[in-house]
Each structure stands twice: as C-alpha cells, then as structure tokens.
Chain A
Amino acid sequence: MTALLDIYRAHFKTTIASQLQYRAALVIWLIGMVLEPLIYLVVWTTVARSSGGQVGGYTPQDFAAYFIVFMLVNHATFTWIMWEYEYRIRQGTFSAMLLRPIHPIHSDIADNLSYKLLTLSVMLPTAIALSLAFRPAFHLVPWAVLAFIPALVLAFLVRFLMEWALALAAFWTTRVNAINQMYFVALLFLSGQIAPLSLLPAPIQAIGTALPFRWMVAFPVELLLGRLQPEEALIGFAAQVIWLIVALALVHVIWRAGVRRYSAVGS
C-alpha cells in the first residue's frame, strides 16, 4: 500500500511538471468545459423567464445553481482517456507502458487527479464569476451536503472505470471516434448535461435511471442542491456501488482480452 502511494506521489510530481509546460492548452480545454453548461444555463433561464418564472420546479436562480454545480462535478469526474488510448495504441507508445511492473490504470488515475488539481485553480474563480453573474440560489441541507462527498468520489470512480473500459475499444478498432461520439450523446442527455433529468420525458428518465450515466454526474449535483429525499439518496448510493462493481468487472475482463490482442504498432 505505501509502495503504491509512493508511485502515485512520483506520478503527481512528473505529470504536474509536464502539464505546466502546456498551460495554454490547459486553459483552452477549460473554455469548452465552461461554455457548454453556460449555454444550457442561458437557454433554460430564458425558458423559465418566458413561462412565468419557473419550469418543472426550477427558477432561473435554481438553474444557475444546477448548471454551476454541474460544471464543477463534470470537471471533477471527466476523463480524456479514450483519446489517450487511441493515440497510445496507434503510435505504439503503449508497449512501454506494458513493460512497467504496475497496472497502467494507476498512472492514468494519477494523471487525471493531478490535472484536476491544477485546473481547479481556474475552475473555482470561474464558478465564482458565474455565481456573481447569474445569482444562483442554494437550498443546502446539512445531511445532503455531507453525503455529497462520498457520492462525488463514487461518481468519479464509476465514470473513470467506465470510460477506461470504453477506451480499451481501441484494441479492436481504429474507428473509436464514432464509438466515443455515441457515448457522448448518451452522456449529454442521460447525465443531466443538457437539462436536469426531471425536465426530460418520462421514458428517457427511466432509461437514465437504469443506466450508469445518471450516477456518474447528475446524482451528486442533485444531492448537493437538496433536491433528493433521504430514500432517493440511498437508492442512488446503491446504484453507484452496483455500477462500480460492474465497471471493475468490465475493466478486468476487457483489459485481459485486449492486452492479449495487442501487437505493437510502429516501433
């Protein structure tokens, strides 16, 4: 265990040093992360104003709170691993990773966390600026705020492992972009990105509840905003744990099959 922690510490140091070399690229990626929730915030605020001040239980101030928190949770949980794997396998740099005496997923987790730590220094001021511009209303409930922390950690784990498993599709096909796009469309509608799930048609909500997407982003957001009853929160945690187990199994199975298939491309 301490050996693993040492490895993580070393990874943090090297990735933070290397990412600081690409400061411009960091900021540019963030523009997309901020702009998307901002667009939907504006759209829904406009809708709420034109239909008498509220839509489906959300006032403009509630939408502001929802999309600002969504932006932060989405930032905390997102990964770019599918592009990383496509590159690694196409270029053959994956071979070097296989030689290390440790599962490559650890370096990916360390990369992800150190990037998040760095970019938090931009995300937090952005969230404050957006709060000043859109005046969100928070109705915080103490138990829900406490429960938010484990919900966020579980959401990160489920999303990371699911997307890591998805990234391994690159072992079988070079056309991962089409697969990724399908995944992102599902994420857009089912994770609460385009609108709070309660505003979507009932069948879509049911699909969202059955699949992992809701538990990867929307659940912690709704929890923090005090929109869930204690029973709903318990169901959410149960769903997160179930999907975590499924994701772990998927990663294990797909990884073993994929590595066996891999034959180095390039050098």
Chain B
Amino acid sequence: MTYLRLLWLFFRVGAMNELAYRANFFVQLFRSFLGLVTGLAGLAVVFSHTDTLGGWRPDELLALLGIYFLVGGLINLVIQPSMERLMEDVRRGTLDFTLTKPEDAQVLISAREVAIWKLVDLALGLGVLVVALVRLAAQVGLGQVLAFTLALLAGGAIVYSFWLILATVSFWFVRVENILVIFQSMYEAGRWPVGIYPPWLRITLTFLVPVAFATTVPAEALVGRLTVQTLLGAVGLALALLAVSRWFWTVGIRHYSGASA
C-alpha cells in the first residue's frame, strides 16, 4: 500500500514538473504519432508483397506493433529515466540522500523519475493493440487474453530486472550509460517477431538482451501461438531475474561509499 502511494506521489511530482512545459506535450504527441505512422507504413510496405511474414498475418503483426509501442512507452516512461537518474546519482554521490530515506531504496530508485509525456506512446500502443484485437476477435479467447496478461507482466519484470542489473553495475564502473544505449538500439528489432531472425541473432535477442520476452512472447500468447512451456519459462525467468537483480542490488549498495565526502 505504501508502495502504491509512493508510486502515485512520484507520478504527481513528474506531472507537476512537466506541466510547466506544456508545449512539450504537443511535441511528444507529434513525435509519437510520427513513430506510429512509420511503423504502420513499414507493415504496409512489407504486406504489399506478401500475405504472411514468417507465419504471422498482418493483424497479428499489428498486435505485435501495439505491444512494441506499449512496452517501449513503459520503459521510456519510468524505467529508463529512473535508471539514468540512479547512474547520475552514483557518479555525483547524491545517492546518499535517497539511502537515508526510511523506505526501501530499490523501490525509491526504480520509480523516482516519471517522464509523463511518454504516456502518449503508451496510449497509442494500447490503441493499436485494441484495433488489432477487434480485427482478431474470432481468434482470441479468454484463455489467450489471460496468457497475454501473464506474458506481458513477465516481460515487464524481465526488462525491469535487466535494466536494474545494468544500472547497478555503475557502483563499480561509473560510466555505463553506453550499455543502455545498446538496449535502445536492440529494442528496434522487437517490432518484428524474433522467429524470423537467424539463430545467433534470435538467441542474442532472447537471452543477452531480453527483447523477445518484452514483445514477441506476449504477442505470441495473444494470437495463441505460445506453448505452455514457453509461458511457464518466461514466468520462471521473470521470477528468477527479479530475485537475482534484488540480490545484485543489495551487493551493489553495500559496495557504495558515496562520492561527495
């Protein structure tokens, strides 16, 4: 309960900060819209030459595109800004202020920065997903929606743990922002199903940089292509990574000695 109140508080602070710059909302709206049009036009070009891409039909890839924007929006909304703030704080020694607060430090650093205008991406992604769902209505049952929700939650947890582990590395190596840029460019690959990539790239996108769990796996769950084993695997991996990232974070925080003193 406390954590929900904290989340809401951070969200409100982020909103208040950004509402001072309202024109940014229209800039973000324009940019998100441009991103969406680009994605749709890309699909249109590909499907003007074929009916299926690696076994995926147009409406199914539309759902994947919606999930791609949804998860990308979530990452840019809170995960990325908070983790960047963490690395900056470690570098400047200002993490001390967070550590002295009477709440769990991991919760504080994970949701501290909210870039609220990225909600636009989230909303557009949701919109695309709903359109795709309506068109796929005959194909999607309740079971699939449940599996999709589970897969999406697992994907979110995996991406969050991945970022937390990388950001925690900054306790030892101060300059790691560059590694995070790698995730940003690899995430691009997630707008297409990972099944079409050659094996070495598919393995990279699944285990080295978990893009597949964030986009392809939830989409597969939605269109009924996911096996129970993969779903359980994703959930198991999510739980394991949450535990590992938590452990790594506590090791890292013990290593932290402040930089300002």
**Measuring CB to CB, which residues of chain A are less than 8 angstroms from any residue of chain B?**
24-25, 28-29, 31-32, 35-36, 38-39, 42-44, 46-47, 50-51, 55-56, 133, 175, 177-178, 181-182, 185, 188-189, 194-195, 199-201
The 6 closest A-B pairs by CB, nearest first: A32-B185, A47-B50, A46-B196, A28-B178, A55-B49, A46-B54
Interface hits, B177-219 → A, CB 8 Å? 178-179, 181-182, 185-186, 188-189, 192, 196-198, 201
Query: Contact: A24 with B42, CB < 8 Å?
Result: no
Q: Is B27 within 8 A of A175, CB to CB?
A: yes
Name the residue of chain A whose CB is nearest to the CB of B53.
A46
| Chain B residues with CB below 8 A from A39, complex form | 188-189, 192
On whether the beta carbons of B27 and A51 are closer than 8 Å, the reply is no
Q: Is the CB of B185 within 8 A of A31?
A: yes
> In whole angstroms, how far apart are the Cα atoms of A195 and B47 in the complex?
12
Please tell me which one of the listed residues B30, B53, B181, B189 contacts residue A50 in the complex, with CB atoms under 8 A apart. Answer: B53
Q: A31-B185, A51-B49, A194-B45 are in contact. Are A181 and B178 (CB under 8 A)?
A: no
Contacting residues, chain B, for A201 (C-beta < 8 A): 45, 48
Is B19's beta carbon under 8 Å from chain A? Answer: no
A4 to B178, CA, bound (A): 35
Give the CA-CA distance A43 to B42 in the complex, in Å: 11
B52 in contact (CB, < 8 A) = yes
Contact (Cβ within 8 A) B53 A47: yes
Besides the contacts A32-B188, A39-B192, A50-B53, what 8 more A-B pairs have beta carbons closer than 8 Å?
A28-B179, A42-B196, A175-B23, A178-B30, A181-B34, A189-B41, A194-B42, A199-B49
B229 to chain A, nearest CB (A): 25
CA distance A39 to B45 in the complex (A): 15
- Is the pair A42, B45 in contact by a Cβ cutoff of 8 Å? no
Q: How large is the interface on B (under 10, 10 to 19, 20 to 34, 35 or more residues)?
A: 20 to 34
Provide the residues of chain B in CB contact with A178, threshold 8 Å. Answer: 27, 30-31
Least CB distance from B193 to A in Å reads 10
- A132 to B83 CA separation, bound complex (whole angstroms): 38
CB contacts (< 8 Å) of A32 on chain B: these are 185, 188
Known contacts A28-B182, A31-B182: A185-B34 contact under CB 8 Å: yes
- Tell me whether B178 and A42 are in contact (CB under 8 A): no
Whose C-beta in chain B lies nearest to the C-beta of A133?
A: B198
List, in ascending order, chain B residues with CB within 8 A of A185's CB: 34, 37-38
B146 at the interface (CB under 8 A from A): no
Is A182 a contact partner of B34 (Cβ separation < 8 A)?
yes
Q: A185 CA to B46 CA in the complex, in Å?
A: 16
- Within the assembled complex, what's the spacing in Å between the Cα atoms of A55 and B181? 34
In the bound complex, residues from chain B placing their C-beta under 8 Å from that of A46 are 53-54, 196
Consensus secondary structure, chain B interface: helix
How far apart are the CA atoms of A177 and B35 in the complex, in Å? Answer: 13
Q: Across the interface, which residues of A come within 8 angstroms of B30, CB to CB? A: 178
A68 to chain B, nearest CB (A): 14
- Complex CA distance for A29 and B201, rounded to whole angstroms: 18
A199 surroundings in chain B (CB, below 8 A) = 45, 49
Most-contacted residue by chain B among A50, A51, A200 (CB, 10 A):
A50
Inter-chain contact B196/A181, CB cutoff 8 Å: no
Query: How far is the CB of B116 from the nearest CB of chain A, in Å?
Result: 17
Cα A51 to Cα B48 in complex, Å, equals 12
**A31 contacts across to B, CB distance below 8 A:** 182, 185-186
Given A28-B182, A31-B182, A177-B31, the answer on whether A43 and B201 have CB atoms closer than 8 Å is: no
C-alpha spacing A195/B181, complex, angstroms = 25
Residues of B within 8 A of A36 (CB): 188
Q: List 5 A-B contacts (CB under 8 A).
A: A39-B192, A56-B49, A133-B198, A189-B41, A194-B42
B29 to chain A, nearest CB (A): 10
Known A-B contacts A182-B34, A200-B45; A43 and B53 likewise in contact (beta carbons under 8 Å): yes
Inside 8 A of B34's CB, which chain A residues have their CB? 181-182, 185
Q: CA A175 – CA B26 in complex, angstroms?
A: 11
Chain A residue, CB-CB nearest to B37: A185
Least CB distance from B54 to A in Å reads 5
- Closest Cβ of chain B to A224, distance in Å, is 23
Taking a contact as CB atoms under 8 Å apart, the answer to whether A38 and B49 are in contact is: no
Residue of A nearest to B49 (CB): A55
Alpha-carbon distance A62/B37, docked complex (angstroms): 28
**B45-A38 in contact (CB<8A):** no
Give the complex CA separation of A35 and B192 in angstroms.
Answer: 13
- The CA of A188 and the CA of B31, in the complex, are separated in Å by 15
B residues near A200, Cβ cutoff 8 Å: 45
**Which of the listed residues A28, A182, A194 has the most CB atoms from chain B within 10 Å of its own CB?**
A28
Contact B50 A55, beta carbon cutoff 8 Å: yes
